[in-house]
Structure 1
Amino acid sequence: MKLNQLLWASALISVSFACSDSGDEKPLGKYNNGILIMNEGNFGTNDGEVYHLNPNTEELLPTIFEAENMRPFAGLLEDMVLEAERLYLVANTGKVEIVDPTDFKSLGAVSADLDQPRSLAVNGSKLFISDYGPYDASYGTPDSYVAVVNGLDGGGVSKKIEVSNKPEDLFSYNNYIIVAGSEEDKIEIIDATQERVITILDLEASPKQFHEEDGVLWVYAVDSDKVIFYTLNLSSLTLGTSYTIPLANASGKIAFDGDDEMYILTSSGWPDYNDAVVGIDLEGNTATATELMTGSGFYGIGYDDERDQIYVANANGFQGNGSITVLSESGSVIRTFEVGRGPSGFLIY
């Protein structure tokens, strides 16, 4: 389960025990129930952090990484990835912090040989980390890569696999790592054992986010005047159906509700920043878009499947702390509350 810039959420667990992959029941901890709010932090001060929200009581616990580890996170948070009973906090300032999701205590880190990491996937005993690589003199990223780390609790980078410019989301399936190559409109498939790209699929838009459901991998891709949802058949690793929706200014931010409905953010960008929350409904061979809310400063989105609620993060121009607005599926405002600097995504149990 992961959250990238576009950020999808799984169903909220409301029972007092969670089942492990082995089928054993284990008590939920302090933090692995409810909603984790990712605050990216401010460029230069690198004050990214995670807040925890109990949606039943509305209790909000701030800066839980620092509270549990007695040190600041000290980075710009880009993604939170929950895999292999670990929570990976990916910072695009060049590190990955690894914590126990139950108590947020540190388990390890990857803190060297990374440049601008974006997301992460686990395959066997290896970590695969998408990374823009260093900027060149023109602020391009011609040396983008997927870093390989041998060990689930971090360590050094053993290899950098060359991929197309600006890789974003990753998805692990069987012996493969599927890469969203955002700048060159590609999906690249890595053999996790050989640690090399074996297949490249060309798209008509920039892929941003993956979401798996019922053996089908959804690929969310954006262009200047449209969004495209591709399906990728995991058994054959080939593209299937695609859905094109005319929609200008779509961002890479999306939340899936698990029932062929998605919620995305659009933004006109500088200088107006006319933003909107848009619901996308896929039914049969048709797709419809409905504008639910407008405003400015929208920076992240998530979906609470148990309560059928949409969470919208607002960075408020990075002028002080950001805020969260909770919406019904029809777009009605339920409540608003303040969080940390630059809130950009959610992990919802």
Structure 2
Amino acid sequence: MNKNLFNQSVLVGFCLSSIFLTSCTDDDSGGNTLEPKGAYEKGVLIVNEGNFQKGNGAICFFDKQNKTVVENVFLTENNRPLGDVVQSATIHNDRAYVVVNNSNKIEIADANTFKSLGVINNLQMPRYLVVANNKGYLTEWVSYSSKGRVSIIDLTTNAVTKSLEVGKLPEKLLVLNNKVYVTNSGDNTLSVINSTSDAIETTLPVGDSPNSLTVDAANKLWILCSGQKNYNSDYSIDENTSTPGSLVRINPSTQAIEATLTFTSKSLSPDDLVINGSKNKLYYRYNGKVFQQDIAAATLTTTAFLNRNFYGIDVDPSDNLIYGADAGTFTANGKVVRFNPSGSAVDSFTVSILPSEFIFK
């Protein structure tokens, strides 16, 4: 999901060595102090969707050092809920941009205190946000049947300045080399936006229903595709007309597809592609399990890394612990289970309803 910390080792050394100093601050040039920015400055934010039309979506905060959880930090700090279906969150310049899908808005809060800083309203089925050149790029489905769009937001004024039509049901997106790559999950394409001109440079064909993407250590782009699923009258999947999922690698310098690794099943859909801190191991959900894929492998792994059915996964880049979001009954509070890089469970903790995504601060 964009969390940079300043190195203040010189300042800390000065403060510790001075016997006259009663408080440690920067000089008069206006730099940051060593005082904490807020209760939620360092830790993990967990996105909890909540139930559709119930307005109980939430952001939870996990303190990794003390292993404590604060549930629903936005409600705690502002005395009002986030809204209906919290889809995703992005941190930029100490601001949290929380996309609330069915409420058609983005809630903006201080990322360290979670005090409200504003709202962007009148969106149309918003999904995910990334930031480039101090502009937000937001995917919006608009409708289930028509093409979606990417709306460009001036993060100084919080105003939508431009909207670009992309493919159907645009989902996750990523910034790489001054370009914004958008997965069009209702099609089989990737839209590429130039973040300087804010124009669509090209549309790349990939596998059917791309849903997530990441960048590896070699600066290659990986896209996970669910495959097209068609149904018979009894709601079973029509194997004759459906297509399998795929994992696609693209060279962003040439925009050429370098590899396509195809799944065997036409009825199962891989989802939720993420990568570890070293950027050499891919992880995704498939067939009710979590799989780990080496970026150098020429074929898809057939052995599950975790035999757990999670609603969402991610990897903390600082220690490579794997976080699994367990939705449980989908109506009560869920939980998060953490695993070490070898796949052994470390611990677990309770969060809110339908945990789905993680932001590591």
Give the TM-score normalised by structure 2.
Answer: 0.78
Match for 2:209 among 190, 206, 209? 206
Equivalent residue letter for 2:213: F
Identify if the C-alpha distance between structure 1 residues 336 and 153 changes in structure 2 by more than 3 Å, giving closer, same or farther.
Answer: farther
Unmatched tracts of structure 1, length 5 or more: 3-9, 18-23, 135-139, 268-274
Any idea what SS the aligned residue of 1:318 has?
coil
Equivalent residue letter for 1:338: T
Deviations 1:158-214 (A, max 9, x none): 332111101112223455332111221111122345443231111123322232345
Contact persistence 2:105–2:120 (CA under 8 A): yes
Unmatched tracts of structure 2, length 5 or more: 10-30, 228-242
Any idea what SS the aligned residue of 1:44 has?
coil
Identify if the C-alpha distance between structure 1 residues 87 and 213 changes in structure 2 by more than 3 Å, giving closer, same or farther.
Answer: farther
After TM superposition, the structure 1 = structure 2 runs for residues 132-281 of structure 1, keeping only pairs within 5 Å, are 132-134=141-143, 140-152=144-156, 154-155=158-159, 157-173=160-176, 175-214=178-217, 215-223=219-227, 225-233=244-252, 235-236=253-254, 238-244=255-261, 246=263, 248=265, 249-258=268-277, 259-267=279-287, 275-281=288-294
Any idea what SS the aligned residue of 1:339 has?
strand
After TM superposition, the structure 1 = structure 2 runs for residues 306-321 of structure 1, keeping only pairs within 5 Å, are 306-321=318-333
Deviations 1:60-79 (A, max 9, x none): 11111111222211131111
Match for 2:113 among 97, 103, 106? 103
In structure 2, the partner of 1:137 is: none
Any idea what SS the aligned residue of 2:305 has?
strand
Equivalent residue letter for 1:187: L
Any idea what SS the aligned residue of 1:291 has?
coil
Relative contact order, higher structure (CA 8 A, sep 6+): 1
- Residue 280 of structure 1, CA deviation: 1.6
In structure 2, the partner of 1:74 is: 83
Identify if the C-alpha distance between structure 1 residues 251 and 92 changes in structure 2 by more than 3 Å, giving closer, same or farther.
Answer: farther
Q: Distance in 2 between matches of 1:295 and 1:260?
A: 22
Contact persistence 1:127–1:152 (CA under 8 A): no
In structure 1, the partner of 2:62 is: 53
- Residue 38 of structure 1, CA deviation: 0.8
Q: Distance in 1 between matches of 2:289 and 2:156?
A: 38
Equivalent residue letter for 1:126: K
Any idea what SS the aligned residue of 1:220 has?
strand
Contact persistence 1:227–1:247 (CA under 8 A): no
Deviations 1:91-141 (A, max 9, x none): 1121111222121122222112x111111122324322110003xxxxx33
> Greater Rg, structure 1 or structure 2?
2
Q: Distance in 2 between matches of 1:263 and 1:290?
A: 12
Any idea what SS the aligned residue of 1:65 has?
helix
Q: How many residues align?
A: 317
Q: Distance in 2 between matches of 1:307 and 1:331?
A: 13
Any idea what SS the aligned residue of 1:68 has?
helix
Higher strand content, 1 or 2: 1
Identify if the C-alpha distance between structure 1 residues 123 and 152 changes in structure 2 by more than 3 Å, giving closer, same or farther.
Answer: farther
Deviations 1:228-248 (A, max 9, x none): 131332x44x13422515364
Identify if the C-alpha distance between structure 1 residues 348 and 97 changes in structure 2 by more than 3 Å, giving closer, same or farther.
Answer: same
- Residue 152 of structure 1, CA deviation: 3.9
Any idea what SS the aligned residue of 1:119 has?
strand
Q: Distance in 2 between matches of 1:348 and 1:266?
A: 24
Moved more, 36-45 or 196-205: 196-205
Q: Distance in 2 between matches of 1:16 and 1:337?
A: 32
Identify if the C-alpha distance between structure 1 residues 305 and 124 changes in structure 2 by more than 3 Å, giving closer, same or farther.
Answer: closer
Q: Distance in 1 between matches of 2:82 and 2:308?
A: 30
